[in-house]
Amino acid sequence: MSYILKSSNIMPKFGIGTWRMGENENKSSVEINSVYYALKNGVRLIDTAEMYGEGGAEIIVGEALKKANVDRKELFIVSKVYPHNAGRDNLFTSLKKSLSRLGLDYLDMYLLHWRGRVPLRETVECMEEAKKEGLIKDWGVSNFDIDDMKELESIKNGDKCSVNQVLYHLASRGVDFDLASYLLERNIVLMAYCPLAQAGNLGNDILNNSVIKNIAKKHNATSSQIALAFIMYFDKRVPIPKSSSEKHILENINSQNIILDKEDIELLNKEFPKPNRKMPLDIV
């Protein structure tokens, strides 16, 4: 299952995240094996960043890729650049370091991790140059709200942005006020990080919510699978859950087979309503 990006490149509808990986050498083998396990069970989209473990997560992914030996053309590897590295002085150095840690010649998607002091125009120019040099196939942003997206769109080649990665789950639906529809209208994929509420608006333990549990029972599924299926119910939304447990990784992968019906969505919308006013995006 995949989406066609505005560039005509193909992006899987499901992937895995690597936040908090690469921070502890004692966990390296477990983390490598978890990414490897996901790859061997069909996952092709892996999201990482130079910030995660200060490059450690990219090393983990690189080792897993080497071990799995999947055809490069099947993979969709995403990484992110620090805002302070997103200018002409540092972006290409950061990008090449990421590629080296990953053991790759190019990235399928390169994201600006969040807005910083480097002018967007300069970052866009660098991203487009990186595309021309064959170092990346596509680029996007992360943690951009609607005003940021509008500013980006006003810049030359800013409309080439293919992805906006934001924190999104049932208990954190700020994007549903206006950002999600804005992205969809422009064929920009919404990548959902922390889709199982591992961060952000956590006053609500969604996996133990009775409504979710009842829907899970109906579909012979787990609560986490319903939370992921909810995101994938909507067009151009890609969840990237992270787990080091083989059991949970497989559950997450199999969430792609769960098709929620309108009644399920109505119940979930009632329990976790969309915001009726503009709210700041949850960011971690």
Q: Is 248 annotated as a binding residue?
A: no
For residue 187, with 0-12 CB atoms within 10 Å meaning exposed, 13-18 middle and 19 or more buried, which class applies? middle
Give the number of other Cβ atoms within 10 Å of residue 49's Cβ.
Answer: 22
What are residue 239's phi and psi, to 5 degrees? -80, 145
- The dihedral through the CA atoms of 19, 22, 26, 31 has a sign that is positive
Catalytic residue status for 37: no
**How far, CA to CA in Å, does 98 sit from each of 21, 58, 130?**
15, 7, 13
Give me the half-sphere count of Cα atoms (radius 13 Å) on the Cβ side of residue 134: 2
d(CA 211, CA 214): 5
Give me the catalytic one of 3, 36, 37, 52. 52
Give me the half-sphere count of Cα atoms (radius 13 Å) on the Cβ side of residue 115: 14
Catalytic residue numbers?
Answer: 52
Binding positions? 113
Binding positions for substrate? 113
